[in-house]
Amino acid sequence: MKSLKRFFAVLVAAFCLSALLFALPQTAGSAAAKTAPVTQKEEAAATLLARGMMCDVLAAVYDREGQAGLALAVNRADSRRWLFYFNQNEILLFGAPLSGRLYYFQDNDLRGRLSPAIFEACFFNDVRGQEDDRLGIWQGTDHLLTVYANFEIENGKVVVEMEPTSAAGVLKASHYQGRIRGEAHVRAVREFLSLMPALHRAVKQAGIKIAKDYRQ
């Protein structure tokens, strides 16, 4: 009788242990789901929000260091698609409304040559008292200007070696000969353009199509 009781006790203990072991992976899985790593889109949305821009991020990429990023996002303020560049170490935000001409700036023209990237953009949260104050126009702390940037394609990468330029006091001009000199401004323009090929891949992976003649 004692042997029988001992047998049942061992059987119950084994059953309880099996049930516990079976439950552990499920518990771990639930915990992992609750603490899932933040996606690049979520991180980019949080970064934009911290800089006063409430957006729905459609795709985002970062540089190798994970400091600078480029995002395709819908700006909730105007319901338009924008391209936003941001750097985790700076409050400055650089962006431009999405257009097919800007998005595909790195494509060769009909003569097989690279044309300069020319587009209207804005430095949000910009600070006055810099060399670049005279370029473009100001709306509060938003510094709007037209960017003119020569670039090269080297090993599939966009390289902007020369300082980009703009025009003083206006957005549209026949010539853009005023150099953009501010270190943060120059870096923003260069990395905005250099991250575009990577953003193309992320946009494609997200199943988003952008026509070459896309306008808003």
Residue 107 has pLDDT above 70, yes or no: yes
Q: Are residues 6 and 96 in the same domain?
A: no
DSSP 100-133: HHHHTTTS--TTS-PPPEEEEEEEET--SSSGGG
- 215 occurs within a structural domain: no
Residue 190 has pLDDT above 60, yes or no: yes
Q: Are residues 106 and 141 in the same domain?
A: yes
The partner residues of 82 in beta bridges, in order of sequence, read: 73, 97
Q: How confident is the model over 29-87, as pLDDT tens digits? A: 443 333 456 799 999 999 999 999 999 999 999 999 999 999 999 999 999 999 999 99
- For 141, residues 6+ apart whose C-beta sits below 8 A from its C-beta are 124, 125, 126, 127
28: exposed, middle or buried (Cβ count in 10 Å: 0-12, 13-18, 19+): exposed
- 111 occurs within a structural domain: yes
Model confidence band, residue 6 (pLDDT cutoffs 50, 70, 90) = very low
Model confidence band, residue 109 (pLDDT cutoffs 50, 70, 90) = low
Give residue 156's pLDDT: 85
Q: Are residues 105 and 195 in the same domain?
A: yes
Span 106-135, average pLDDT: 89
Q: Which residue is listed with tokens 């206006």?
A: 170
Q: Are residues 53 and 137 in the same domain?
A: yes
Sign of dihedral through CA atoms 168, 172, 178, 182?
positive
Round the CA-based radius of gyration of the chain to a whole number and report it: 26
- Number of domains within the chain: 2
Q: Give SS3 for 169.
A: coil
Q: Please tell me the total number of residues recorded for the chain in this structure.
A: 216
- For 58, the domain range is 40-205
Q: Are residues 32 and 59 in the same domain?
A: no
Alpha helix stretches (DSSP H) within the chain: 2-34, 40-50, 100-103, 183-194, 196-205
Residue 95 has pLDDT above 80, yes or no: yes
Residue 7 has pLDDT above 50, yes or no: no
Model confidence band, residue 14 (pLDDT cutoffs 50, 70, 90) = very low
Q: Are residues 151 and 168 in the same domain?
A: yes
Q: Are residues 25 and 73 in the same domain?
A: no
Q: Which two tokens stand for residue 16?
A: 């309880």
Q: Are residues 144 and 177 in the same domain?
A: yes
Q: How confident is the model over 124-174, as pLDDT tens digits? A: 999 999 999 999 999 999 999 999 999 999 988 999 989 999 999 999 999
Give residue 37's pLDDT: 62
Sign of dihedral through CA atoms 183, 185, 188, 193?
negative
Sign of dihedral through CA atoms 195, 191, 157, 99?
positive
